[in-house]
Amino acid sequence: MATSQDFFAIGLMSGTSLDGLDLCYSKFWKSDEKWHFEILETETIPYSEAWENKLRNAVNLNAEALLELNSDYGFLLGELSQNFISKHNIKNLDVIGSHGHTIFHQPEKKFTLQIGDGRAIQILTKKNIVYDFRMQDVLMGGSGAPLVPIGDELLFSDVDACVNLGGFSNISFKKDEKRIGYDICPVNIILNYFAKKQGQNFDKDGELAKQGNVDSELLKKLNNIEFYQLSEPKSLGYEWVESHIMPLLKDFSDLEILATFTEHIAEQIAINLSQNNIKIALFTGGGSHNTYLIEKIKAKTKTQIIIPNKEIIDYKEALIFAFMAVLKINGDINVLSSVTGSSYDHSSGIFLKF
């Protein structure tokens, strides 16, 4: 039975790597001024080929088609959420927190867009909904990303840093008594794309990368990209990959790209761990299953790398968006200005009360 101190929430997360929709049903409670959690049910629902193509190509749509997709995707999220609730016989549910799917992310121009209208989710689930977590921060002068560090701060404070290897890699840690976080480099948005060209959904354990040769000139060009020299806050998006990464890769084979980019990821992550004197780091996200990539990172840094259980690896982001929704409905801060660069800490997301 729920008590007044227990909050039950579902988090929905769709990443740029287009693996599918992650759903995580969890219980949150606070004792001795510290937040705790228990993951109760999880599921990843792969996108159909049609939906994967729709989301991948959404950046090229005109305004009318994008608005239609925003509604259609909202109803898809609502349908999948309701199926999840029914399948797992979920009775206690205070809120659904939906990240949506990022189409545009240009905070320097004061906009970011995560499609999936929360009103459509509510129509099908008849539950409290929190969605559109990023836009408020961008309007406040922040980068709107990464947002997960609030969960790192309140739920995973027993390690020095949290590193996520998803479509992009990001890191969060304490610096001068403040939590900071930022994107490091692309990961699965590149590796999955070129693995798919080789007939694989992803590069399992780096088996494809192992077959290719690292091109030292390409590696040097990748490592010299200006973004890596910028100080935080900073974040990456699909458009940046299209303009800054893809042109560098056009003259190389898929296997050369996978080998070289895996090396590039390992080097950039190791640099960030070492420069910030991180002693212990928790690694999550789909890329944490890539044993070849993890071995390369370990070889380049003295940081102790912790790979948690599969539930945490695969669902930490969905877990934290559920948590952010709980914070929102309680009027608590869920975005840290020290991470995003916004004008002050704030409680973000559009809350639809049912």
Residue 1: per-residue pLDDT:
42
Is 114 in a helix, a strand, or coil?
strand
Residue 5's pLDDT band (cuts 50, 70, 90): confident
What angle do helix axes 291-300 and 254-275 make, rounded to 10 degrees? Answer: 40
Residue 231 DSSP symbol: P
DSSP 50-101: HHHHHHHTGGG--HHHHHHHHHHHHHHHHHHHHHHHHHTT-----EEEE--E
Measured between alpha carbons, how far is 277 from 282 in angstroms, rounded to an integer?
A: 14
Report the C-alpha gap between 89 and 91 in whole angstroms.
Answer: 6
> What are the boundaries of each domain within the chain?
6-145+318-352, 149-311
The yes-or-no answer to whether 6-145+318-352 and 149-311 have a common fold is yes
Angle, CA 306 vertex, CA 98 and CA 273 arms, to 5°: 90
Query: Which option is the CATH number for 6-145+318-352: 1.10.3720.10, 3.30.420.40, 3.30.70.100, 3.90.79.10?
Result: 3.30.420.40
Task: Work out the average pLDDT over 38-51.
Answer: 97
Look at residue 77 and tell me whether its pLDDT is greater than 90: yes
Confidence of residue 17 (pLDDT cuts 50, 70, 90): confident
Average pLDDT, the chain: 96
Nearest to 180 by CA among 206, 153, 198: 153
Which residue type is seen at 270?
A
Residue range 196-203: mean pLDDT, rounded = 96
pLDDT (tens digit per residue) in 226-260: 999 999 999 999 999 999 999 999 999 999 999 99
Res. 79: pLDDT tops 90? yes
The two beta strands, 161-165 and 168-175, are antiparallel
| Percent of the chain with pLDDT strictly greater than 90 | 97
Q: Which residues are within 8 A (CB) of 134 and not within 5 positions of it... i.e. 6 or more apart?
A: 105, 112, 114, 144, 145, 147, 348
Structure confidence by residue, pLDDT tens digits, 151-196:
999 999 999 999 999 999 999 999 999 999 999 999 999 999 999 9
Q: How far apart are the first and last CA of the chain?
A: 21
Q: How is residue 47 annotated by DSSP?
A: P
pLDDT at 350 > cutoff 90? yes
* Total-model pTM: 0.93
Output the six-digit token pair for 86: 């029914």
DSSP conformational letter for 351: E
| Distance separating alpha carbons of residues 3 and 92, to the nearest angstrom | 11
**Residue-by-residue DSSP string for 254-306:** HHHHHHHHHHHHHHHHHHHHHHTT-SEEEEESGGGG-HHHHHHHHHH--SEEE
Distance between alpha carbon 287 and the CA centroid of its chain, in Å?
A: 12
The region that residue 297 occupies, defined by phi over 0 for left and psi between -120 and 50 for alpha, beta otherwise, is: alpha
Note the pLDDT tens digit of each residue in 271-300: 999 999 999 999 999 999 999 999 999 999
DSSP string across 139-160: HTTS-----THHHHHHH-TTSS
Residues facing residue 29 across a β-bridge: 6, 36
Question: Which CATH architecture does the domain made up of 149-311 adopt?
Answer: 2-Layer Sandwich (3.30)
